[in-house]
Structure 1
Amino acid sequence: MSYLYTFKDQKGLREVIKPGDVTKYIGLGILTLEAGESYKTKTYDKEVVLVILSGKANLKVDDVKYENLGERKDVFSGRATAVYIPRESFYEVIEAQGDKLEIAVLSAVAEKKFKPFVVKPEDVVVNHRGVPGYQRDVHDIIVDNGEGRVDRIVVGETFSYPGEWSSYPSHKHDAYNPPEETMMEEIYFFKVNPPEGFGVQVMYNDDLSLRDAYIIKDKDAVAIPEGYHPVASAPGFAVYYLWVMAGPHGRKLTPKDDQKLVKAMKK
């Protein structure tokens, strides 16, 4: 089966990947609103993180109002603003501001209910990872700072350099084998700069029963329920991907590198 979800233009909320389809715990939706439009819903049994991709908005979570959220014109122009919304909560995007508002709606099936909170751009932790050939900048939005504040969900952004690989050396997190590896599903949502470019998503496992590669265009998404999953950027084009993870054994990410690959690289 294909784990690639190609972009489809749709106003309002487009549910790209629903928990229970390919993934058990996590989902992705994209909310697009024009100036002055609003959107209201309930989280039910899921905790939700709204990551503002572009534009500004006022939001309300139950009786708590958050105003003037969002500081970037696109994902390549700054750090993210995000809002955590617990399970069994109503939330409303009261009014989109500016020309267009685009929000990623990331969800994870949750058992515990916590309090809502905002992650501001200055709260995002930036890590530079890799060496020439596989350099990238990783922005932790709700990772370590989520301990004791969220149930399962883990959220961040990766900015791959043009012509380089990321999520590399290849790693996976599809088996529960502590302390070497944890089990977490993952979803990637992509942007490409300039948008005419492309990237490549590679997915494989140890016995190569999974052995796929997808051409990634702007606003595509990929579900990663298993396997190693490196990403390549075409020369001249930066590839961004928003990631959400969750699993049944806590929030501590313990990935396992492809040991055959790592050993061969050292020769």
Structure 2
Amino acid sequence: MTTDHEERVRERPRHRWHLPAGSAAEGPYALDIDPKRAGWDRSSLRVVELQPGGVHTLVTGESEWIVLPLTGGCTVHTSGEIFELLGRESVFSGVSDFAYVPREAHAQIASGAGGRFALAGAKCERRLPARYGPAPEVPVELRGSGTCSRQVNNFAAADTFECDRLIAVEVLTPGGNWSSYPPHKHDEHRPGAESVLEEIYYFEIEERGGTAGFGYHRVSPSRPGGTDVLAEVRSGDAVLIPDGWHGPSIAAPGHTMYYLNVMAGPGEQREWLISDHPDHGWIRDTWPAQPVDPRLPLHGLSGPSGLSGQEASR
């Protein structure tokens, strides 16, 4: 017998999984992905661009949200709290502070100098308090080695910042390297081994010498009729992953690749448990003999180190 999740996957057109920049714009958002657009239950991502002096109001509804500066800073007013986010020059320049906004709330996001802000959300059950996430407390780790080296900013990983359902991290991959490798999946409930998570990848590619960069992202089916994507990705693109083996994400030489991962699922525990593709998991055994790419860290380590390169695929 097939599950309801598998039936929904079979009904979805494949072209929807890669959303080129601008194709998912809606109203004030340069990118607007909600569960209805994605065809799933929980995960959301919006990107709002504010001009100098701009103000945006977020009505959270049944979802919890994190306001994460991509460029610039802002002030977030919500639930009687005021959070001043210093932000950053770009996603390639450093870790950012952020604000958590609970479900059933209104938030006003104002930016004196203007900027671009990601709103990562997940439909949830508990209403947690609004909170500020300081940049120095974001654990930054290096994963993999050699050409599989990448940097992960675990600002809202399952074990670093409390949310009800939302899991979100940032990944920076130096030009020429592969990340999200070996390919992995999280589309089956297997206690202690794998968790079901809907996932969004949002990409930005570093420009060099006035030239826009690009990368490639692969999702291959983990079951008949499952998600199948091979996409050239550029700044502002997103890829939706309801199921399947995802990876690698490949950065073109000379251009650092950034992606924001937003995840949520139905499990009782908020956890990120993955299974490696059986044909490619052996690559981990080669990592201890190789040094981490000397270009990393891109902007310094802060906070405690997390999973080692042998343990994580992101």
User: What TM-score, normalized by structure 2, do the two folds share?
Assistant: 0.79
Alignment-derived partner of residue 172 in structure 1: 185
1:106 to 2:113 alignment: no
Alignment-derived partner of residue 17 in structure 1: 33
More off after superposition, 6-15 vs 176-185 = 6-15
Provide the rounded CA distance (Å) in 2 between the counterparts of 1:44 and 1:212.
31
Deviation track 1:63-116 (CA, whole Å, cap 9, x = no partner) reads: 11122x1231100000022111110011001x3122x31100111001110101
Tell me which amino acid in the other structure corresponds to 2:59.
K
Provide the rounded CA distance (Å) in 2 between the counterparts of 1:71 and 1:215.
29
CA contact (8 A) 1:70 1:80 kept: yes
Deviation track 1:236-258 (CA, whole Å, cap 9, x = no partner) reads: 11100011111011211110000
CA contact (8 A) 2:201 2:261 kept: yes
Alignment-derived partner of residue 91 in structure 2: 75
Q: Compute the displacement of 1:207 (Å).
A: 5.0
Q: Compute the displacement of 1:177 (Å).
A: 1.1
CA contact (8 A) 2:66 2:98 kept: yes
Alignment-derived partner of residue 216 in structure 1: 233
CA contact (8 A) 2:26 2:32 kept: no
Q: After the TM superposition, which segments of 4 or more aligned residues of structure 1 sit over 6 Å from their partners?
A: 264-267
Provide the rounded CA distance (Å) in 1 between the counterparts of 2:45 and 2:121.
6
Alignment-derived partner of residue 254 in structure 1: 273
Q: Compute the displacement of 1:58 (Å).
A: 1.4
Give the superposed CA RMSD. 1.9
Provide the rounded CA distance (Å) in 1 between the counterparts of 2:184 and 2:52.
41
Q: Compute the displacement of 1:56 (Å).
A: 1.3
Provide the rounded CA distance (Å) in 2 between the counterparts of 1:52 and 1:222.
20
Aligned length: 262
Q: Compute the displacement of 1:229 (Å).
A: 1.2
**Sequence identity (%):** 28
SS of residue matched to 2:35 = coil
Deviation track 1:115-163 (CA, whole Å, cap 9, x = no partner) reads: 01111110111110011121100010112123xx321001110001111
Alignment-derived partner of residue 254 in structure 2: 236
Matches within 5 A, 1:131-150: 131-143=145-157, 144-146=159-161, 149-150=162-163
The gaps in structure 2 that reach 5 residues or longer are 1-13, 287-314
CA contact (8 A) 1:55 1:97 kept: no
1:58 to 2:83 alignment: no
The gaps in structure 1 that reach 5 residues or longer are none
Provide the rounded CA distance (Å) in 1 between the counterparts of 2:100 and 2:63.
11
SS of residue matched to 2:279 = helix
Q: Does the C-alpha gap of structure 1 residues 263 and 74 become closer, same or farther in structure 2, counting only changes over 3 Å?
A: closer
Alignment-derived partner of residue 54 in structure 2: 37
Match of 1:96 among 107, 111, 118: 111
